[in-house]
Amino acid sequence: MRNKIRKKQLGDAPKTRFILTSVCTLLMLYLSVNATASVAAELRLYAGAGLRQPVDRLVEIFQKKTGHVVIVDYAGSGKLMTKITVSGTGDVFLPGSFIYIQQLDEQGNIVSWKPVVSHTPVIAVNRSKEGEIKSLSDLVKPGLRLALGDSQAMAFGKTAQTILQRAGIKEGVAANVVVYGATVKQLAMYVSQGDVDASIIGRADAFQFSESVAMIVIADKYYDEEIVPAAVLSSAKNIDAATALQDYLASEEAVAVFESFGFLRIGQNKQEPVSIITH
């Protein structure tokens, strides 16, 4: 009888080991899944309105790669900077100009930043006016209807004023301005739809509306290269996740996506690249 019992116990041993192994495997899988879920973060990204197309695509890729959830708030960079300052919330800021990072850094609101691409200004002309507007100096012609960006609300509003000032045509152009836009997308739409004859907008935005908008290059002597930077905000709740998003937006893969939407790499405007600053 004892031998039979012993044989039965020995016969059950492989089954017992199999059950224990299965339980351990399931437990490890459960812990792994829950560990991954626990590090997934919800990030708020403030991004300039003129960056929407490439950013939408990059956020989608980033979310799939990391499991993080990114909520994007698009608006003029100046408005976004004000929102960041007033609310004290947000994780990453991607404005159309480095000047906004400088201002927030002075207030102690920036942890780190990296340069991404160049936000290049061009003259966007409705194709019905191609023969009439071929250079900056043509913007002072009487009877033209122009749109410019609000210098308090958006990066290209400030850039346009610098260009016109250096070209010595600021007052002449001001006489033809019929509307000031809050975002570069508004300006691009005004030109595309024929609501105005021309505007100074981003190269990428003119690129988007190429069927209805002609693009005139502006000599780089009239402006300082605008760098699109990605910055981690001091209000970030998960610094590691926010830094991962910042790094991805500045990665070679991301720059290639930006290029596909008409943005230029830093330095293609004959300006010196900007170095990375971290605190």
pLDDT for 36 = 39
Mean pLDDT of the chain: 86
pLDDT for 272 = 35
218 shares its domain with 270:
no
* Residue 36 belongs to some domain of the structure: no
127 shares its domain with 100:
no
Is the pLDDT assigned to residue 67 strictly greater than 50? yes
pLDDT for 31 = 45
How far, in Å, CA of 31 to CA of 99, rounded? 45
246 shares its domain with 211:
no
Domain boundary among 205, 222, 239: 222
Q: Which tokens hold the place of 44? A: 């708020």
Per-residue pLDDT reduced to its tens digit, 117-137: 998 999 999 999 999 999 999
Number of domains making up the chain: 3
pLDDT for 279 = 30
131 shares its domain with 161:
yes
pLDDT for 151 = 87
* Residue 188 belongs to some domain of the structure: yes
pLDDT for 276 = 32
248 C-beta neighbours (distance < 10 Å), count: 18
pLDDT for 9 = 46
Residue 8 confidence class, pLDDT cut points 50, 70, 90: very low
Per-residue pLDDT reduced to its tens digit, 16-58: 554 445 544 555 554 444 443 447 899 999 999 889 999 999 9
53 shares its domain with 171:
no
106 shares its domain with 126:
no
* Residue 34 belongs to some domain of the structure: no
pLDDT for 93 = 98
Report, as an integer, the average pLDDT of 79-103.
95
Residue 158: which domain range?
121-222
* Residue 11 belongs to some domain of the structure: yes
Choice among 42-51, 180-189, 264-273 with the minimum mean pLDDT: 264-273
* Residue 187 belongs to some domain of the structure: yes
* Residue 134 belongs to some domain of the structure: yes
- The whole-model pTM stands at 0.72
Burial label, 88 (beta-carbon count in 10 A; 0-12, 13-18, 19+): exposed
195 shares its domain with 258:
no
* Residue 51 belongs to some domain of the structure: yes
CATH number at residue 207: 3.40.190.10
61 shares its domain with 190:
no
46 shares its domain with 92:
yes
pLDDT for 267 = 84
**Phi/psi at 10 (nearest 5 deg)?**
-65, -35
Is the pLDDT assigned to residue 265 strictly greater than 70? yes
Per-residue pLDDT reduced to its tens digit, 215-253: 999 999 999 888 999 999 999 999 999 999 999 999 999
Name the percent of the chain in helix, strand, coil, to the closest 5.
Answer: 50, 20, 30
Percent of the chain with pLDDT over 70: 82
Percent of the chain with pLDDT over 90: 70
Residue 119 CA, distance from chain mean position? 11
143 shares its domain with 208:
yes
172 shares its domain with 142:
yes
218 shares its domain with 151:
yes
* Residue 233 belongs to some domain of the structure: yes
The string over 138-175, giving b where at least 16 C-beta atoms fall within 10 Å of a residue's C-beta and e elsewhere, is bbbeeebbbbbbbbebbbbbbbbbbbbeebebeeebee
